[in-house]
Chains A and B, each alone.
Chain A
Amino acid sequence: MSKTLSASLEDYLEAIFHISAQKQAARPKDISKRLKVNNSSVTGALKLLAGKGLVNYAPYEIVTLTGKGKTLAEDIVRRHETLRDFFEKVLAVSHEDAEEAACKMEHVVSREVLENLIQFTEFVETCPRGGSKWVSGFRYHCDAGGEHADCEQCITLCLEDFKQANAGDKTGEAVSLHELNPGQKGKVIKLRAKGEARKRIAEMGLTRGALVEVERVAPLGDPLEVKVKGYHLSLRKEEADTIDVERI
């Protein structure tokens, strides 16, 4: 698709997309202003685009994107944003430079390269070996030159951070027993059921401080099977809901 359009035509399409997003419809004047080109070039470009069925255009009227044009424009915008984010967030390039570079590269990058770039950006953000610290490490590297700090310590720190991040916000978190997934454990903090039911639950060994592990959920999704004091007990979700536990 994009191969049939020249780089400048893609720029026009992108401009129309942005202008319409702001003002519903684009006038040729807005386009020439945004792209810093003269009116006659705009008219020519619009005629070409209309010929390809991408915009609805008649002289002296406002310009709108056709369905096909819109799809294409969205694709271009997405490529632009992906590239810009990569330059800015991963390669630590300034916002303006990132915008400019993205503007130029968006027309030539193939779909596959683009997809992988998106994946990579995501990966860097989430992988514990990457992450914001790693990126800022790279920034430091750019600023300070090739000096390397103690790699071993860096990795150890990273590992500790990871452990904490994974467990830190989970352990000690007070949830109801119902919210634990099979295989997760907790320690009973409080029984919120009333009367007989509460007494029964306590008598079966779910007393304060008792360790419980959710073993499984029944095939129809309701009673839970938990392990407490070394034996197996089944509880309905509504009862499990009244048991507050601390995640372990």
Chain B
Amino acid sequence: MKASIKVALAGNPNSGKTTIFNSLTGARQHVGNYPGVTVEKKEGTCRHGDVQIQVVDLPGTYSLSAYSIEELVARDFIVEEKPDVVVDIIDASNLERNLYLAVQIMELGVPLVLAFNMSDTAKARGYEFDLETLSELLSAPIVTTVGNKGEGITELLDAIVSAAAKQDTWQSAKIVYGKEVEEELAKLAPLVARETAAAEKYGLRWLTVKLLENDQSLLEMVSSPELLAAVEASSKHLQGIFGDPPEIVITDRRYGFISGACTETVRSTVEARHTMSDKIDTVVTNRLLGLPIFFAMMYLVFQLTFTIGDPFMGWIEQIFGWLGGIIEGFWPAGSESALKSLLVDGIIGGVGGVIVFLPNILLLFMAIAILEDSGYMARAAFIMDHLMHKIGLHGKSFIPLVIGFGCTIPAIMATRTLESRRDRLTTMLVAPLMSCGARLPIYALIIPAFFPQQWHAPMLWIIYLIGIILAIVCAKLLRATLFKGESTPFVMELPPYRVPTLRGIVIHMWDRGWMYLKKAGTIILGISILLWAMTTYPKKEVFARDYPAEIAQLQAAYPKDTGVKNAEALQAKIMNLQQAQRAEELTYSIAGRIGHGLEPLLKPMGFDWRVGTALIGAFAAKEVFVAQMGIVFSVGEADAESEVLRDRLRENYTPLAAFCIMIFCLISTPCMATIAVTRRESNSWGWALFQLGGLTALAYVLTVFVYQAGSLLSIGTG
């Protein structure tokens, strides 16, 4: 027996595959990607007796036809990597459909172990299985498990190890497709064996069946026109007999085989017509209550994310401020050390800027994990599909777009749930228009500075609304031009409601949080340091005025005993001078020069070079804009609540220009991390740059329009 075996976990979505994977591997797992595609690959290891087992979690699929990337990846993994054993996690309470995948794995001829998971639910629904006979009919060992309680895991490992030991003599059950189909298969098989190189790898029968099933990805591999013609002829022949193309006939037969096996071995003792899940659904997807409940849920998710997240954000900011203070203490006061500046302003500021969003991200993903594991997510897609379909998207697009209000990065990552590339790309490209949490500080800074109290909330709504409307328009436009074509069928399972487990939620949060730190965090940190350098260098040596001398003069002119009031006035004057010096330094720096250079372009939008400089920062990460404005206006440490900064803004900009800044920040230049993630998820720099260019152009055109129209009509110019 081998000392080390490789096991692949397959299964339908919602069969409890992740739960079983976690039970098997515990913390010894890591997440990667399948080569060349953006499907997540989870791997882990475990020991059973003296056998080392490597477990690979295949993507959850309903079938192994090449319908989606996930199916292709799962299939290719089994075929190319030849795992010693494939474990199919089956939701025993939904046996027939789950066996459809099992049957296809079976046809691949690999050693297969069936885990009848959710056996508790199956029992509660009154199903009784004759596992011995079923196991014989399917020629695969069956183990019952209850994933969330960890029951049956040891037995599953036993079965895996003994199946691996038998792999050389493994005999899979064979499905007979009926006389007519079998005749065609027999006709094609020799041709397939002769004309394709892949027959050995895939297994002759499997490959022949798949070709007859009109499997595009495999047909593309076939170069022989003779074989293609023969497949075509067989297909026509069968279509003539059955009135349906062979792929439908074959699917019918597979289900026929399954239902034959099930009638023999499954008994339903109670007629459970209305399960708890059905009862919940009559309320949750109710005609009248469905939408209100949905919106309430979304509201709750946001309350959870932001209300609970905010204090944590405050603490994190304090901790980093305190840390910065300590490090600053190592240098004498007023030191101009470049290292100090790099450490305090560049690195600590940058790391802080990354970590500060962690509470929000973790809470958001906790909410999403709860919604997903409980089964509500599918209902959300069900409820919203009609609307989303109208703008050319899929019900499932709604979820990434909603997440987009939190942060665009996870939103783009969430587009993975979409099956069609067109839907996926459209959603990905418009997702940045959902105003993310990082843009909130910008609005939070600007709105109170320029608009009266009663206008604060409506203003915020208007900004968000503009984003939503633009997203709709852009999605429609994309679907009408670049992504023309049929929308994918909305055949989506509505899984039964379940109580989510704490463990599942924590793992989900951890995964996403870590991904954020690693992927987005590193970029934000890198750019923060770069930005620090851009705003600091080159250092100005010769100033227009001799600031130190002027300060000394001022101090000399005020005798020490002239009272508190005069001392304050003195301080203010000194501050003015220092800020003027800082501003001069910034103008001289790279960022300042770029900002100045862009000014002719920015003028039509009502922006000056300072906004331009801050926008360079916003490209790194939206929230940097606020801090950058603080630096540009030399008000020191600035956050969204800084009154000093607000005063400065009021002095320098009109409400119209301020509104334009918000619109521009809303639409333009998704942050660096967004571009990086889009590049990763779309697997092409082309789409990432298209997103960057397209949105920036849109923002520019729109903002210029608003500013010019506003100026012309004298709205908000006073």
- Chain B neighbourhood of A218, CB < 8 A: 285, 290, 382-383, 385-386
**CA–CA, A202 and B389, complex, Å:** 22
Among B384, B387, B496, find the residue whose CB has the most chain A CB atoms closer than 10 A.
B384
Count of A-B contacts with CB under 8 A? 132
Partner of A234, one of B62, B244, B486, B491: B491
The answer to whether B494 touches A225 (Cβ under 8 A) is yes
Q: 12 new A-B pairs (CB below 8 Å) besides A199-B251, A204-B97, A215-B281?
A: A190-B244, A199-B67, A199-B248, A204-B493, A205-B97, A207-B248, A207-B251, A207-B252, A209-B252, A219-B290, A230-B95, A232-B493
Q: Which of B77-103 contact A (CB under 8 A)?
A: 93-97, 100
Is A217 part of the contact surface with B, judged by Cβ < 8 Å? yes
The answer to whether A217 touches B287 (Cβ under 8 A) is yes
A191, closest chain B residue (CB): B248
| Residues 282-309 of chain B, each 1 if its beta carbon lies under 8 Å from chain A, else 0 | 1001111011000000000000000000
Q: Which of A195-248 contact B (CB under 8 A)?
A: 196-205, 207-210, 215-223, 225, 229-236, 239
Closest 6 CB pairs of A and B: A222-B386, A219-B290, A220-B386, A232-B494, A202-B251, A197-B489
The answer to whether B255 touches A205 (Cβ under 8 A) is yes
The answer to whether A204 touches B385 (Cβ under 8 A) is no
Q: A205-B97, A207-B252, A219-B287 are in contact. Are A233 and B491 (CB under 8 A)?
A: yes
- Chain A neighbourhood of B383, CB < 8 A: 218-220
The answer to whether B290 touches A210 (Cβ under 8 A) is no
The answer to whether B67 touches A200 (Cβ under 8 A) is yes
- Chain A neighbourhood of B291, CB < 8 A: 219-220
| Residues 480-504 of chain B, each 1 if its beta carbon lies under 8 Å from chain A, else 0 | 0000001011111111100000000
Is B65 part of the contact surface with A, judged by Cβ < 8 Å? yes
Is B395 part of the contact surface with A, judged by Cβ < 8 Å? yes
The answer to whether B67 touches A223 (Cβ under 8 A) is no
* Band of interface residues on B: 35 or more
Is A175 part of the contact surface with B, judged by Cβ < 8 Å? no
**CA–CA, A207 and B62, complex, Å:** 15
How many whole Å from A26's CB to the nearest CB in chain B?
A: 55
The answer to whether A203 touches B62 (Cβ under 8 A) is yes
Is B247 part of the contact surface with A, judged by Cβ < 8 Å? yes
**CA–CA, A215 and B385, complex, Å:** 17
Is B234 part of the contact surface with A, judged by Cβ < 8 Å? no
**CA–CA, A222 and B381, complex, Å:** 11
Which residues on B are within 8 Å of A, measured CB to CB?
62-63, 65, 67, 93-97, 100, 213-214, 243-244, 247-248, 251-252, 255-256, 278, 281-282, 285-288, 290-291, 378, 381-387, 389, 395, 486, 488-496
- Chain A neighbourhood of B488, CB < 8 A: 197
**CA–CA, A46 and B536, complex, Å:** 107
Partner of B386, one of A203, A216, A223: A223
- Chain B neighbourhood of A236, CB < 8 A: 385, 389, 489-490
Partner of B489, one of A190, A215, A219, A239: A239
- Chain B neighbourhood of A233, CB < 8 A: 491-494
**CA–CA, A221 and B386, complex, Å:** 7
A206, closest chain B residue (CB): B491
- Chain B neighbourhood of A239, CB < 8 A: 489-491
Is A193 part of the contact surface with B, judged by Cβ < 8 Å? yes
**CA–CA, A202 and B63, complex, Å:** 11
How many whole Å from A176's CB to the nearest CB in chain B?
A: 15
Q: A219-B291, A232-B494, A235-B490 are in contact. Are A199 and B65 (CB under 8 A)?
A: yes
**CA–CA, A229 and B255, complex, Å:** 10
**CA–CA, A227 and B226, complex, Å:** 43
Among B62, B63, B386, B486, find the residue whose CB has the most chain A CB atoms closer than 10 A.
B386
**CA–CA, A232 and B381, complex, Å:** 14
- Chain A neighbourhood of B244, CB < 8 A: 190-191, 208
Can you report 25 residue pairs joining A to B where beta carbons are below 8 Å apart?
A: A196-B67, A196-B489, A197-B486, A198-B248, A199-B65, A199-B247, A202-B247, A203-B251, A205-B100, A207-B255, A215-B278, A216-B281, A216-B282, A219-B287, A220-B291, A221-B386, A229-B96, A230-B95, A231-B97, A231-B493, A232-B281, A234-B378, A234-B385, A235-B491, A239-B490
**CA–CA, A36 and B252, complex, Å:** 79
Among A204, A223, A229, A239, find the residue whose CB has the most chain B CB atoms closer than 10 A.
A223
The answer to whether A201 touches B290 (Cβ under 8 A) is no
Partner of A223, one of B94, B255, B395, B496: B395
How many whole Å from B544's CB to the nearest CB in chain A?
A: 64
How many whole Å from A193's CB to the nearest CB in chain B?
A: 7
- Chain B neighbourhood of A235, CB < 8 A: 489-491
Q: A203-B62, A236-B490 are in contact. Are A225 and B382 (CB under 8 A)?
A: yes
- Chain A neighbourhood of B95, CB < 8 A: 230
